[in-house]
C-alpha cells in the first residue's frame, strides 16, 4: 500500500496510550522513540510528524479507517478532587468477591466523561470532519462469538475483525476564508443508531464513503453495507442498489479507484452456510520436520489448528471484488479469493491487488502465508502477475530478518503508474553478512516481457522506505537494529549518472541529532510527495524538515527550511519553549500544482500546555498569523490544576535518567508532607549510555489521561512518577539483557531516591506498576528490590521466559543460546523471593505474542505456593489491552483497592511479616487473607457458589489451568 493511501484513507492523525496493540481494529502507536529504534523516518512528513507528536495527548484525532475503544478523554465533570484517598471503605470488601465493581467517583467520572470527536481534513484542505464517538463500550459487545484463525480474530456475524468500535455520527465543517470553521452539516439519510466505520474521502473531496451496520443481533442487520454521502449536502445513500451485497472487512475493505468509482471487497453472493466442524476428526494432527529445516518462530497465538480451521478461514476471508460506480453500475473483478490489499495507481489506470492462498500453516499467522501480487487494469482486466511468494515459516527471529523475494511493492508517488519494490540479497537472514543487503527496483506498469526492472538503489543495511519527489530527488532510508544505525540517502531516480549520497547518518537512539522528516504535499493525483519550497528569487532546492526538536530541556518541535544540495538550513518555525508545546501536523497550502512558495505557506498545528488540552490552529505565512479552529473542553477539569515537572537524576553507574513527576492539584510538599506514590514505567533497551540519558518528551505537554492511566490516581491524592526511564544498556557487543536485573534495580533505586529526596513520596508508601513488559518489570522489582516498594500492580505480563523460547521483546537470542539470561530475567524463577503484595491482572483472551493468560495463572500459582500475598484477576473477553467499560472500571477498582490497602494504609510492614509465614501457616489460615484468585463472571452479577472455584469456571481456557 502506497504511503499517500495510508495517509489519506486510514488517517489524518491518531494518538493513543503507549501499549502493544491487542485489538486489530485499533491503530496503537508505540512511543515514537521506540519506533525509531527499528524503523527510519521513511514515511511522509505529514504522517511521520503526526505519529511522532506523542501518544497520549491527541486521543481525539484518529484514523478514518479505524475506530477507537481505549479512549477515555473528553467532556466536562464537576466532581471535585477528594482531599483524601480514604473516601472509599475497602475494609469490608471480600478478597474473593467476583462481581464487577466500580472505582470511587473521583476516578469513575474522569473515565466516563464523553470523548471529543475525531478529526479528518479533506484532500483539498477546505473541510474538516468531526467524527462523533461514544464513551467506553459495554462488555456485551466483546462477548460476541469470534473465530480465532490464522493469527486474527473474526466476528462472523459482521464478517469483520472482531471487537470493532465505531463512530455514531459525522459532522462536516467548512473552513471559511477567514480560517474559522463554519456551522456543522450533519451527514444524514442512514438509519438511526447505525454504527459507522471506515470513513474515507473521495480523491476530489466531493464525497465520503463509509460503512454502516445496525444494532440487531441477527446476521443480516449486523453485516456492513457501503454508503456514500455528498459532502455539499450531507445526504447519504447506499452505494449498492442491491440489499444483498455486504462488505467483507476481514482484510482490506474498499478503495476509491477514481473520483466516481470504488473497488469493494464483498461477501460472495454464492457463499452458503459456514462449514460445520466434523464430529469425527479427519485424522491425527501431524507436524513433521523430516527435512531437518531450521524453523524458529515466536510465541504466536490464534493460529490455525486443523483442516476445519483452514476451511473456516477461507469461508470468512474470501471476498469477491466488485467495481462500483456512483451511478449504481457494478461489475465483478476477478474470481473470489482471500484478497488482503488493493492499491490503485496514481493515474487510476491500474490496481495492485494482493492475496494469500494455500498451503496454509499451523505455526505462523496469515501474514506469512503464500502471497500473490497481481496487476489489474482499472476496468477489471488481469494484466500480469508480479510475484507468488511461498509460505514463509522460516524467517529467522533475528531483528531485521525479512521474507525472501519481492516485498514492499508500491506505486511511485511521483509517476502515473510506475512500480517499485525491494528484494533481499541475504536470503532474509539478518545474520548473513553480504553487500548489498537489499536492492530497490523499479519498473513501469506497462512493460514488455523482456524488459528487466531498473535498479533504483543498493543498500548495505535493511531497506526502510522511500520518500519520492520527482526524477531529480528522492530520499531512501535504511537502518540496522543491532547497531541502531539509520541512514538517509539522496538519490536522483531519473539519472543513473548522478551518484547517490548520504544525507544523514546517525544513531536512531540519538534523538538530539534527529534532523526531522521531510514534509509531503498532496499532488493532483492524490499521492503525497516531498514538497518543493520556493524562497523568493533563490534558486536553491528547498524542502521542509519537521522535527520533534529533542533537547536536554525537553522537546521543542521545529520546522526547518532545508537546502538539499548544500545542507544549509533556516528555522522558519519553532514551538514556544516557555509555556506551550506545539507541533506541526500537516501542510494546508498544497492544493495547487507546482512548487509551494514560502510566503504563501499554511500549516496545521496542535498546541497545548501543562493545563491546556490540545487545540488545533492554522498558521499562515509570511506573518505567521495563528487562527484557532477547535475549542474542545477540558476533558477532566477537576484535575486542570495538576502539577507536572520533568525531573532528571542519575543512576549509580552515571547514566542520566528522566521521569515526569505529577502531583495533585493544590498539593504543597512543605505543608502537606509526603504522599503515597505510584511509579508506572516500561523498560527500554539502548546501545549507549549517552542515548539512554537523553531527555524525551516535553515539560509543557498536556497530561493526557487514558481510561487505565496511572495519572487517574492524582484524583486520589497520589504522587505519580510516570515513565521513569529504565534503560537496559548493552554497549558494543555486550547484550543488554545479560545484566537486566542489575540495571533494572539500579534505575528503580535512583527513581525512588529522587522522589524521597524531593519530599513528595513517603518511603513506605511507594507502589510500582506496569502493563505488558512493564508488568514483567514490576514482578522483577518486587523480587529483586523489595526494599523499594510497598506493593505492585502487574497487568497482562509474561513472567516465565522459558515459555517464549525463541525470543521476546527485543531479545533475539533463543533460550538455548542464552539460557542463564532467560532464567535470571524470569520473575517466575524468583517467586520465592516476592514478599510484598502483588496484584496480577490479565485479559482472558490475550492474543499478544508471549503474554498468554497462562503466564499470569502460572505465576500466581507459583506465588501462592510460597505463601506470597497476591491476587489474580482474569477479565473475561478482554485481550492484551482492556476495552469494555465493566472491565476497565473493575481494573480501576482493583487497583485503587490494592493501593489503598497496601500503600495508603501503611500496611507494608505487616504485609512483609505476613508474607514470610510458611506455606503450612497460610494453609492453616485457609489463605483467606494471603491470596485470592478472581475470575469475573461475564454477566457481572453475583456468581453461583460453584463459580467461586476457579477450575470450574466455564470461561477459563483449559490451557490456562
Per-residue pLDDT, 289 = 87
Assign 652 a pLDDT band (cuts: 50, 70, 90): very high
- Number of helices (H), then strands (E), belonging to the chain: the values are 15, 49
CA distance 525 to 925: 74
How do residues 623-639 score in pLDDT, each as one tens digit? 999 999 999 999 999 99
Q: Which of 747, 772, 830, 930 is catalytic?
A: 772
Amino acid 62: pLDDT: 34
> Helix (H, G, I), strand (E, B), or coil: what is residue 249?
strand
Q: What is the mean pLDDT of residues 346-357?
A: 97
For residue range 539-569, list pLDDT tens digits in order: 899 999 999 999 999 999 999 999 999 999 9
Q: Which of 880, 890, 900, 914 is catalytic?
A: 880
The model's confidence at residue 85, banded by pLDDT at 50, 70 and 90, is very low
- pLDDT bin (cut points 50, 70, 90) of residue 320 is very high
Task: Determine the pLDDT at residue 731.
Answer: 93
Give the pLDDT score at 96.
53
Q: Is 738 annotated as catalytic?
A: no
Residue 591: the pLDDT is: 80
Lowest-pLDDT range of 291-305, 373-387, 602-616, 857-871: 291-305
Write the CB contacts of 150 (distance below 8 Å, at least 6 apart in sequence): 302, 303, 304, 309, 313, 317, 360, 365, 366, 369
Residue 796's pLDDT is: 98
C-alpha neighbours within 13 Å on the C-beta side of residue 222 = 18
- Is the model's pLDDT at 344 over the cut of 90? yes
CA distances from 956 to 791, 799, 953 (A): 27, 19, 6
Confidence at residue 593, expressed as pLDDT on a 0 to 100 scale: 82
252 is catalytic: no
Q: How far is CA 65 from CA 62, 124, 441, 541, 636, in A?
A: 9, 19, 30, 36, 28
CA 655 to chain centre: 29
pLDDT at residue 957, as a whole number: 30
Helix (H) or strand (E) holding 210: strand 207-213
Residue 773 is predicted with a pLDDT of: 97
The pLDDT value given to residue 919: 36
* pLDDT tens per residue across span 11-63: 233 333 323 333 333 222 223 223 233 333 323 333 233 333 333 333 333 33
Find, among 373, 380, 375, the residue nearest to 333 by Cα.
380
HSE-up (13 A, CA, CB side) for residue 101: 22
Say whether 880 is catalytic: yes
Q: Give the count of beta carbons closer than 10 Å to the beta carbon of residue 299.
A: 17
Of 184, 191, 186, 201, whose CA–CA distance to 237 is shortest? 191
Position 781 scores a pLDDT of 98
* pLDDT at position 914 over 50: no
Give CA torsion, residues 364, 150, 421, 808, to 10 deg. Answer: -40
Rounded Cα distance between 735 and 943, Å, is 49
Print burial letters for 588-623: b (CB count within 10 Å at least 16), e (below 16): bbbeeeeebebeebbbbbbbbbbbebbebbbbbbee
What would the mean pLDDT of 569-585 be, rounded to a whole number? 95
Tell me which residue of 285, 207, 196, 208 sits closest to 249, measured CA to CA: 196
Q: Under a CB-based contact definition with an 8 Å cutoff, are residues 935 and 876 in contact?
A: yes
The predicted model gives 63-88 an average pLDDT of: 36
Q: Which pLDDT does position 142 carry in this prediction?
A: 92
pLDDT for 447: 84
Residue 768 scores a pLDDT above 50? yes
Q: What percent of the chain has pLDDT over 70?
A: 83
- Using one digit for the tens of pLDDT, what is the confidence trace for 308-317? 999 999 999 9
Pairing mode of beta strands 558-563, 569-574: antiparallel
In degrees and rounded to multiples of 5, residue 457 shows phi and psi of: -165, 150
Name the residue with higher pLDDT: 18 or 698.
Answer: 698
Mean local confidence (pLDDT), 360-367: 97
- CA-CA-CA-CA dihedral for 19, 21, 27, 31, to nearest 10: 30
pLDDT digit string (tens) for 776-796?
Answer: 999 999 999 999 999 999 999
- Report residue 532: phi and psi, to 5°: -80, 135
Report the C-alpha gap between 357 and 371 in whole angstroms. Answer: 7
Measure the CA–CA gap between 788 and 765, rounded to whole angstroms: 9
Looking at every residue in the chain, the average pLDDT score rounds to 86
Average pLDDT over residues 519-542: 92
Contact 237, 227 (CB under 8 A): yes
Q: Which of 414-418, 796-800, 928-932 has the lowest mean pLDDT?
A: 928-932
Share of the chain above pLDDT 90, in %: 78
Q: In this predicted model, which residue has the larger pLDDT, 145 or 451?
A: 145
Amino acid at each position: 500500500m502506497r504511503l499517500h493511501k495510508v495517509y489519506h484513507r486510514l488517517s489524518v492523525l491518531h494518538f493513543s496510550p503507549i501499549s502493544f496493540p491487542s485489538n486489530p481494529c485499533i491503530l496503537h502507536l508505540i512511543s515514537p522513540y521506540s519506533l525509531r529504534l527499528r524503523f527510519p523516518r521513511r514515511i511522509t512528513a505529514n504522517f511521520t510528524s503526526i505519529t511522532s507528536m506523542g501518544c497520549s495527548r491527541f486521543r481525539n484525532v484518529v484514523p478514518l479507517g479505524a475506530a477507537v475503544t481505549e479512549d477515555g478523554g473528553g467532556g466536562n465533570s464537576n466532581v471535585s478532587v477528594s482531599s483524601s484517598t480514604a473516601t472509599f471503605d475497602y475494609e469490608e470488601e471480600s478478597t474473593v468477591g467476583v462481581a464487577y465493581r466500580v472505582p470511587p467517583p473521583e476516578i469513575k467520572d474522569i473515565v466516563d466523561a464523553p470523548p471529543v470527536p475525531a478529526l479528518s481534513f479533506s484532500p483539498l484542505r477546505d473541510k474538516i470532519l468531526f467524527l462523533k464517538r461514544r464513551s467506553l463500550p459495554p462488555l456485551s459487545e466483546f462477548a460476541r462469538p469470534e473465530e480465532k484463525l490464522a493469527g486474527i480474530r473474526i466476528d462472523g456475524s459482521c464478517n469483520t475483525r472482531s471487537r470493532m468500535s465505531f463512530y455514531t455520527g459525522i459532522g462536516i465543517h467548512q473552513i471559511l476564508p477567514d480560517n474559522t470553521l463554519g456551522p456543522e452539516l450533519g451527514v444524514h439519510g442512514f438509519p438511526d443508531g447505525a454504527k459507522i466505520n471506515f470513513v474515507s474521502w473521495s480523491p476530489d473531496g466531493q464525497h465520503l464513503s463509509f460503512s454502516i451496520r445496525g444494532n440487531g443481533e441477527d446476521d443480516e442487520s449486523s453485516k456492513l453495507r457501503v454508503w456514500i454521502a455528498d459532502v455539499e449536502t450531507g445526504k447519504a445513500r447506499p452505494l449498492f442498489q442491491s440489499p444483498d451485497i455486504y462488505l467483507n472487512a476481514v482484510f482490506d475493505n474498499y478503495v476509491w479507484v477514481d473520483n466516481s468509482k470504488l473497488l469493494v471487497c464483498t461477501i460472495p453472493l454464492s457463499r452458503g452456510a459456514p462449514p460445520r466442524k466434523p464430529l469425527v476428526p479427519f485424522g491425527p494432527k501431524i507436524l513433521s520436520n523430516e527435512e531437518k529445516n531450521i524453523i524458529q518462530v515466536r510465541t504466536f497465538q490464534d493460529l490455525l489448528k486443523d483442516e476445519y480451521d483452514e476451511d473456516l478461514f477461507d469461508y470468512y476471508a474470501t471476498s469477491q471484488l466488485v467495481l462500483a460506480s456512483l451511478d449504481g453500475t457494478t461489475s465483478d473483478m476477478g474470481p473470489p479469493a482471500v484478497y488482503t490489499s488493493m492499491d490503485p495507481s496514481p493515474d487510476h489506470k491500474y490496481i495492485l491487488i494482493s492475496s494469500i492462498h494455500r498451503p496454509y500453516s499451523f505455526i505462523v499467522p496469515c501474514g506469512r502465508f503464500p502471497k500473490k501480487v497481481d496487476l489489474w487494469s482499472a476496468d477489471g482486466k488481469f494484466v500480469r502477475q508480479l510475484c507468488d511468494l511461498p509460505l514463509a515459516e522460516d524467517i529467522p527471529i533475528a531483528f531485521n530478518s525479512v521474507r525472501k523475494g519481492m516485498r514492499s511493492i508500491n506505486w511511485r508517488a511521483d509517476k502515473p503508474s510506475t512500480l517499485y519494490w525491494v528484494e533481499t540479497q541475504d536470503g532474509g537472514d539478518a545474520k548473513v553478512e553480504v553487500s548489498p543487503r537489499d536492492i530497490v527496483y523499479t519498473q513501469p506498469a506497462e512493460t514488455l516481457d523482456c524488459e528487466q526492472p531498473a535498479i533504483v538503489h543498493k543498500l548495505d543495511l535493511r531497506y526502510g522506505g522511500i520518500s519520492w519527489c520527482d526524477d531529480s530527488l528522492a530520499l531512501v532510508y535504511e537502518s540496522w537494529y543491532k547497531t541502531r544505525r539509520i541512514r538517509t540517502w539522496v538519490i536522483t531516480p531519473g539519472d543513473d549518472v548522478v551518484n547517490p549520497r548520504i544525507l544523514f547518518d546517525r544513531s536512531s537512539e540519538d534523538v538530539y541529532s534527529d534532523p526531522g522528516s521531510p514534509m509531503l504535499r498532496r499532488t493532483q493525483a492524490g499521492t503525497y510527495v516531498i514538497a518543493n519550497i520556493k524562497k523568493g528569487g533563490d534558486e536553491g532546492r528547498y524542502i521542509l524538515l519537521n522535527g520533534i526538536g529533542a533537547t536536554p530541556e525537553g522537546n521543542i518541535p521545529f520546522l526547518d527550511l532545508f537546502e538539499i544540495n548544500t545542507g544549509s538550513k533556516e528555522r522558519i518555525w519553532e514551538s514556544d519553549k516557555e509555556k506551550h508545546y506545539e507541533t506541526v501536523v500537516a501542510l494546508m497550502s498544497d492544493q495547487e500544482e507546482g512548487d509551494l512558495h514560502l510566503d504563501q505557506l499554511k500549516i496545521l498545528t496542535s498546541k497545548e500546555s501543562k493545563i491546556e488540552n490540545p487545540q488545533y490552529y492554522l498558521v499562515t505565512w509570511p506573518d505567521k498569523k495563528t487562527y484557532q479552529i477547535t475549542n474542545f473542553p477540558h476533558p477532566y477539569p477537576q484535575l486542570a490544576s495538576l502539577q507536572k515537572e520533568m525531573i532528571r537524576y542519575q543512576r549509580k553507574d552515571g547514566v542520566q535518567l528522566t521521569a515526569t513527576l505529577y502531583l495533585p492539584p493544590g498539593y504543597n510538599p512543605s505543608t502537606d508532607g509526603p504522599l503515597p506514590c505510584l511509579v508506572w514505567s516500561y523498560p527500554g533497551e539502548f546501545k549507549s549510555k549517552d542515548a539512554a540519558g537523553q531527555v524525551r518528551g516535553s515539560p509543557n505537554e498536556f497530561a493526557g489521561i487514558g481510561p487505565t492511566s496511572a495519572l487517574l490516581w492524582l484524583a486520589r491524592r497520589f504522587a505519580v512518577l510516570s515513565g521513569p526511564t529504565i534503560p537496559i544498556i548493552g554497549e558494543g557487543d555486550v547484550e543488554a539483557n545479560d545484566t537486566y536485573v542489575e540495571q533494572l534495580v539500579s534505575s528503580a533505586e535512583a527513581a525512588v531516591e529522587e522522589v524521597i529526596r524531593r519530599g513528595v513520596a513517603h518511603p513506605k508508601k511507594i507502589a510500582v506498576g506496569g502493563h505488558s513488559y512493564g508488568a514483567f518489570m514490576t514482578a522483577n522489582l518486587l523480587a529483586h528490590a523489595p526494599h523499594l516498594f510497598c506493593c505492585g500492580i502487574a497487568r497482562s505480563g509474561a513472567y516465565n521466559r522459558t515459555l517464549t523460547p525463541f525470543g521476546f521483546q527485543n531479545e533475539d537470542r533463543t533460550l538455548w543460546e542464552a539460557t542463564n539470561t532467560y532464567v535470571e530475567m524470569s520473575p517466575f524463577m524468583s517467586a520465592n523471593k516476592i514478599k510484598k503484595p502483588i496484584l496480577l491482572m490479565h485479559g482472558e483472551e490475550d492474543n499478544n505474542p508471549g503474554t498468554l493468560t497462562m503466564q499470569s495463572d502460572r505465576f500466581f500459582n507459583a506465588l501462592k505456593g510460597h505463601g506470597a500475598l497476591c491476587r489474580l484477576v482474569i477479565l473475561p473477553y478482554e485481550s492484551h489491552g482492556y476495552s469494555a467499560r465493566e472491565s476497565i472500571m473493575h481494573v480501576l477498582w482493583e487497583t485503587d483497592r490494592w493501593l489503598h490497602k497496601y500503600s495508603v494504609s501503611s500496611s507494608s510492614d505487616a504485609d512483609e511479616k505476613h508474607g514470610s509465614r510458611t506455606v503450612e501457616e497460610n494453609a492453616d489460615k485457609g489463605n483467606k487473607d494471603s491470596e485470592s484468585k478472581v475470575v469475573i463472571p461475564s454477566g457481572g452479577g453475583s456468581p453461583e457458589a460453584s463459580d467461586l472455584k476457579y477450575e470450574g469456571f466455564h470461561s477459563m481456557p483449559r490451557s490456562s489451568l
